[in-house]
Amino acid sequence: MTEPIISVRNLVVEFPLRRGLFTAVNDVSFDIMPGEILGVVGESGAGKSMTGAAIIGLIEPPGHIAGGEIYLSGKRIDNLPPEEMAKLRGKRIGMVFQDPLTSLNPLYTVGQQLVETIRRHLPMNEAQARQRAIELLGEAGIPRPKPASTAIRTSSPAACASVSSSRWHCRRSPT
């Protein structure tokens, strides 16, 4: 029998708040088989993003997984040390964040953030990784990938309006 790529068993995510424990994800279980796509639908605040964040090990403390198990191709990953999880993240498992304006760190250039992930997983020096980052931006359809790689994303539309209109990262895509 084929093994699920992802298996989530009775996942519970909690946030300790001043007025007590808040349960953001309550007893969620599902399997995703190879080649399968799972869509999760629910009202805002239902716990969809927290379920995804738990799977890739990116729940911000003091939030934490308070129960359940997560398996990646049969290997339990919810209890891995952070360094072990970091080896999987960006290689075996990743997340496309909903909002590109908040998923990039404004203190680093786009290229620096790509180089960090590339060098974590591939035996490349800084220059090779930088070149690869530019190629990847091009493959993703980003216009003028080289200048794009040295851009810093800005999060506020006002800040975007104040920088050159040629800065690709300041264009908001229509939603």
**Residues 6 or more apart whose Cβ sits within 8 Å of residue 170:** 154, 159, 160, 161, 163
Smallest gap from Cβ 57 to ligand ADP, in A, equals 15
Q: Which is nearer to ligand ADP, 22 or 30 (CB)?
A: 22
8 binds, among Mg ion, ligand ADP, none (CB under 5 to 8 A by kind): none
In whole angstroms, what is the distance from residue 76 CA to residue 70 CA?
A: 6
Least distance from Mg ion to the Cβ atom of residue 105, Å: 20
**Which two structure tokens, joined as six digits, stand for 120?**
């974590």
Distance in angstroms (rounded) separating the CA atoms of residues 24 and 26: 7
- Residue 164 tokens read as 């050159």
Shortest distance, position 175 Cβ to ligand ADP, whole Å: 16
Given Mg ion, ligand ADP, none, residue 23, with its beta carbon under 5 to 8 Å by kind, binds: none
Query: How far apart are CB 63 and ligand ADP at their closest, in Å?
Result: 5
Cβ closer to ligand ADP: 26 or 162? 26
- For binding to Mg ion (CB under 5 A), which residues are involved? 48-49
Between CA 147 and CA 10 the distance in angstroms is 46
**Both tokens assigned to 88:** 């999987």
Q: Is 65 helix (H, G, I), strand (E, B) or coil?
A: strand
- Report the relative pairing of strands 6-17 and 20-32 from DSSP bridges: antiparallel
In the complex with ligand ADP, which residue's Cβ is closer, 62 or 74?
62
Q: Among Mg ion, ligand ADP, none, what binds residue 22 when CB lies within 5 to 8 Å by partner kind?
A: ligand ADP
Contact positions vs ligand ADP (CB under 6 A): 15, 22, 24, 42, 44-50, 60, 63
Q: Which does 60 bind (CB under 5 to 8 A by kind): ligand ADP, Mg ion, none?
A: ligand ADP
